Amino acid sequence: MNEYFHIALVLIVGFAALFLMTKLLGKSQISQITPFDFISAIVLGELVGNALYDENTGMGQMLFSVALWTILIYTTETITQKFRKTRRFLEGEPSYVIKKGKINYNELKKNHMDLNQLQELLRVKGIFSIRECEYALLETNGTISALKKAPHAIPTIEDLQLKYPKIILPVNLILDGEILIDNLRSIGWDEPYLFSELEKKGISNKEDVLYADWKKGEGLHVQTY
């Protein structure tokens, strides 16, 4: 029984420590996973795992290791934010794998990427032929940023000389059958008015609503389960 209690305690404390670490380091650690970040995640998992199954590794050692690793990562992030010249060494830099419509084979080789991988990443960007691509940058997190050649580019509003529409964001009102009161008040509605609008769409119970939002000029959009 003590063994199960120890496992539960280590997992809870490890979870709390890793949660605090992610809050401290910010969202960039999740949205911009680099090879270094990937290794960091493996190391952190190993630190918690050792505390679970290694008798010589206690709770204190695990917390110290996670705290020290967090400090090292946080220091690295701070250095790259404050000293621009360190970013190239610590974070790497994007590579032009396609430049002016031509594949840069040396950059592909340098980044250990073959043509099949390049084509796969381009397809994700909606480019199914290399002949359509003018520039392609391999970012430090392994994704591709691509710019199509002019004949294949999607025309913009400015290209078509159209009037710019006003950008309006929809407001979520119901998620998973639960009314978002603050959002409801932000558009000047209350619950009775929302129920009346739902009834117009043949819905009598808010629990039947999976998702509902409101957008100025378009009204209420509802999807039931």
Please identify, among 63, 88, 113, the residue that sits at the C-terminal boundary of a domain: 88
Phi, psi of 92 (to 5 degrees): 85, -175
d(CA 209, CA 225): 6
- Whether the predicted pLDDT of 214 surpasses 80: yes
Looking at the structure, tell me whether residues 54 and 132 fall in a common domain: no
Q: Quick check: is 22 in a domain?
A: yes
Looking at the structure, tell me whether residues 130 and 148 fall in a common domain: yes
Q: Quick check: is 159 in a domain?
A: no
Q: What is the mean pLDDT of the chain?
A: 81
Give the domain CATH number at 99.
3.30.240.20
Length of the chain: 225
Looking at the structure, tell me whether residues 105 and 84 fall in a common domain: no
Q: Which domain holds residue 206?
A: 171-224
- Whether the predicted pLDDT of 21 surpasses 90: no
Which value, in Å, is the radius of gyration of the alpha carbons in the chain?
26
Q: Quick check: is 157 in a domain?
A: no
pTM over 0.75? The answer is no
Looking at the structure, tell me whether residues 142 and 187 fall in a common domain: no
- For the chain, count helices (H), then strands (E): 10, 8
The C-alpha torsion from 163 through 164 and 166 to 169, rounded to 10°, is 130
Looking at the structure, tell me whether residues 175 and 195 fall in a common domain: yes
Which pLDDT tens digit goes with each residue over 23-68? 666 554 444 555 566 666 677 677 667 666 666 666 777 777 777 7
Q: Quick check: is 207 in a domain?
A: yes
Looking at the structure, tell me whether residues 6 and 79 fall in a common domain: yes
Q: How many CB atoms lie within 10 A of CB 121?
A: 19
Looking at the structure, tell me whether residues 139 and 181 fall in a common domain: no
Which pLDDT tens digit goes with each residue over 108-120? 888 888 889 999 9
